């Protein structure tokens, strides 16, 4: 059984709040730009669909070795949600591996929010017995590659569904 749970994470401008289904209405607006799906596929979800998805995520993974940790990214000065951050943590015989991903709504992009959030998450993961942090990024997705690099990950020569595996080995 894994012991990971998404506690709040505070960085200089942001509070990463553990996801709740009630955030779906605000997040549906934050994530409403179809351009957010350019590299990852799919289309923006309605508030209703997002609420159902968030309810599933909060309920947690059916596999006891896997923890689904999700946060909304809150910009404290503007008292608003700006995006989401995800860590899927799989316990193994060496500790745990985390797969991370991020989304920032179009109006808040290019302000270093994804970078600050990802750095805060990786710092938190370092406090747990996480030996590897992984992200899968489309080869043309410069912004996401920059976020991963700033969080300490480096690209590998491994690909998965056309995406490059980025990795940080902690110990
Ligand atoms: C990837 C994403 C989260 C970046 O969010 P952000 O808050 O704008 O990122 P930051 O402001 O921290 O910028 C990170 C870097 O990307 C660069 N960048 C941001 N937007 C960019 C763009 N559209 N084109 C090129 N570079 C961009 C920034 O200049 C910065 O680079 P630097 O550190 O060298 O200055 C955001 O573009 C997004 O949500 N995209 C859609 C969802 C997605 O694809 N998620 C990734 C799944 S792995």
pLDDT value, residue 2: 54
pTM of the model: 0.96
61: Cβ–Cβ under 8 A, 6 or more apart, which residues? 67, 68, 88
Rounded-to-integer distance, Cα 68 and Cα 73, Å:
16
CB 24 within 8 A of CB 47: yes
Q: At 131, phi and psi to the nearest 5?
A: -95, -20
pLDDT value, residue 17: 98
Ligand 1 mutation pick, 11, 27, 81, 109, max ligand atoms within 8 A of CB: 109
The overall longest dimension of the chain from CA atoms, in Å, is: 43
Q: Is 160 helix (H, G, I), strand (E, B) or coil?
A: strand
105-140 pLDDT, tens digit each:
999 999 999 999 999 999 999 998 899 999 999 999
Rounded-to-integer distance, Cα 131 and Cα 96, Å:
6
Cβ of residue 98 lying under 6 Å from some atom of ligand 1: no
Q: How far is the CA of 162 from the centre of ligand 1 (A)?
A: 19
Cβ of residue 150 lying under 6 Å from some atom of ligand 1: yes
Ligand 1 mutation pick, 139, 147, 152, 166, max ligand atoms within 8 A of CB: 147
Domains of the chain: 9-169 (3.40.630.30)
Q: For tokens 């159902």, what's the residue?
A: 52
CB 156 within 8 A of CB 167: yes
pLDDT in 10s for each residue of the chain, 171 residues:
456 778 999 999 999 999 999 999 999 999 999 999 999 999 999 999 999 999 999 999 999 999 999 999 999 999 999 999 999 999 999 999 999 999 999 999 999 999 999 999 999 999 988 999 999 999 999 999 999 999 999 999 999 999 999 999 997
Q: Is 30 helix (H, G, I), strand (E, B) or coil?
A: helix
155: Cβ–Cβ under 8 A, 6 or more apart, which residues? 137, 145, 148, 164, 165, 166
Q: How far is the CA of 159 from the centre of ligand 1 (A)?
A: 21
Q: How far is the CA of 92 from the centre of ligand 1 (A)?
A: 31
Over pLDDT 70: what percentage of the chain? 98
- Chain centroid, CA 144 distance in Å: 11
pLDDT value, residue 1: 47
pLDDT value, residue 58: 95
């Amino acid at each position: 059984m894994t012991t990971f749970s998404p506690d709040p994470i505070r960085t200089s401008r942001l509070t990463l709040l553990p996801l709740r289904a009630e955030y779906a209405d605000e997040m549906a607006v934050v994530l409403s730009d179809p351009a957010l799906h350019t590299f990852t596929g799919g289309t923006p979800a309605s508030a209703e669909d997002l609420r159902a998805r968030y309810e599933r995520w909060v309920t947690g993974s059916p596999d006891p070795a896997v923890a689904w940790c999700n946060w909304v990214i809150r910009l404290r000065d503007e008292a608003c949600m700006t995006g989401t951050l995800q860590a899927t943590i799989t316990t193994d015989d060496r500790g745990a591996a985390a797969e991370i991903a991020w989304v920032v709504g179009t109006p808040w992009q290019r302000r270093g929010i994804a970078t600050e959030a990802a750095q805060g998450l990786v710092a938190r993961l370092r406090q747990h017995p996480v030996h590897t942090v992984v992200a899968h990024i489309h080869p043309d997705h410069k912004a996401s590659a920059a976020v991963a690099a700033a969080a300490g990950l480096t690209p590998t020569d491994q690909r998965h569904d056309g995406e490059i595996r980025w990795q940080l080995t902690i110990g």
